[in-house]
């Protein structure tokens, strides 16, 4: 799922199209999954206005990984729902942020293995810094050891995620786990990888280039 319109990057180009070592972020991301399992069915959800640009980009970069392109919706929830509806019946669906090009093979595997057993799996990391809760002018320390930062891919049993996305959208749906949880399932957490950052700010591109040399 790549919904970014680029506003937070300070430039005009949506962050999923920015270059890391000369290749658009989104191609790195798709390659991660295609390399993990070449038989995996890949569905890319993109804002409608970006689909022609993407197809041009694929031609220019000779990007040959087979994938279906589906248009996004008004929110991430609606975009993911469009993606799910484009998937043929299968065992597991993995939903991944297009702007997380550094997900490791091990993270992908841990998620699929755990979701095959329990129906759900999301990659998380312990929180590395002190945390405070509240508002900017009134906050309190909280015990960071009770918190986990959530990454993607978030992997679910096909019927379970399909049913969860029949719910009406509420603003509390910040990721797919929150949608599935609201529908009554327990979310299984597995270990993510620290390199699996979300490209959100300009400096994240520099970080990603440095990390790519290492993994």
Residue 132, C-beta contacts closer than 8 angstroms, at least 6 positions apart: 139, 140, 141, 142
Q: Is the CB of 54 or the CB of 151 nearer to a second copy? A: 151
Q: Is the CB of 62 or the CB of 135 nearer to a second copy? A: 135
User: Using the rule CB under 8 A, is 55 a contact of a second copy?
Assistant: no
User: Using the rule CB under 8 A, is 69 a contact of a second copy?
Assistant: no
Among 60, 62, 138, 166, binds a second copy (CB under 8 A): 138
Among 51, 57, 127, 183, binds a second copy (CB under 8 A): 127
Among 35, 90, 159, 194, binds a second copy (CB under 8 A): 194
User: Using the rule CB under 8 A, is 164 a contact of a second copy?
Assistant: no
Nearest to 129 by CA among 149, 150, 104, 155: 149
Count interface residues toward a second copy (CB under 8 A). Answer: 48
Residue 121 to residue 182: CA distance in whole angstroms: 15
Residue 101 to residue 193: CA distance in whole angstroms: 12
User: Using the rule CB under 8 A, is 162 a contact of a second copy?
Assistant: no
Is the CB of residue 16 less than 8 Å from the CB of residue 8?
Answer: no
What are 121's strand-pairing partners?
155
**The pairing of beta strand 23-24 with beta strand 131-135:** unpaired
User: Using the rule CB under 8 A, is 187 a contact of a second copy?
Assistant: yes
User: Using the rule CB under 8 A, is 75 a contact of a second copy?
Assistant: no
What are the structure tokens assigned to 86, written together?
């484009």
User: Using the rule CB under 8 A, is 148 a contact of a second copy?
Assistant: yes
User: Using the rule CB under 8 A, is 144 a contact of a second copy?
Assistant: yes
């Amino acid at each position: 799922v790549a919904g970014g319109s680029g506003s937070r990057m300070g430039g005009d180009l949506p962050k999923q199209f920015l270059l890391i070592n000369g290749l658009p972020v989104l191609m790195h991301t798709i390659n991660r999954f295609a390399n993990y399992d070449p038989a995996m069915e890949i569905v890319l959800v993109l804002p409608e206005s970006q689909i022609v640009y993407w197809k041009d980009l694929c031609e220019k970069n000779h990007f040959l990984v087979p994938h279906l392109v589906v248009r996004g919706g008004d929110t991430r929830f609606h975009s993911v729902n469009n993606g799910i509806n484009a998937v043929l019946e299968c065992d597991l669906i993995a939903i991944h942020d297009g702007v997380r090009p550094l997900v490791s093979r091990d993270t992908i595997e841990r998620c699929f293995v755990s979701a095959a057993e329990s129906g759900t799996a999301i990659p998380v990391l312990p929180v590395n810094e002190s945390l405070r809760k509240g508002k900017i002018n009134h906050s309190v320390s909280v015990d960071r050891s009770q918190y986990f930062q959530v990454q993607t891919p978030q992997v679910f049993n096909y019927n379970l995620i399909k049913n969860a996305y029949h719910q009406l959208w509420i603003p509390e749906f910040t990721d797919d786990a929150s949608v599935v949880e609201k529908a009554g399932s327990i979310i299984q957490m597995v270990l993510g990888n620290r390199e699996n950052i979300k490209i959100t700010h300009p400096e994240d591109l520099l970080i990603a280039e440095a990390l790519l040399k290492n993994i």
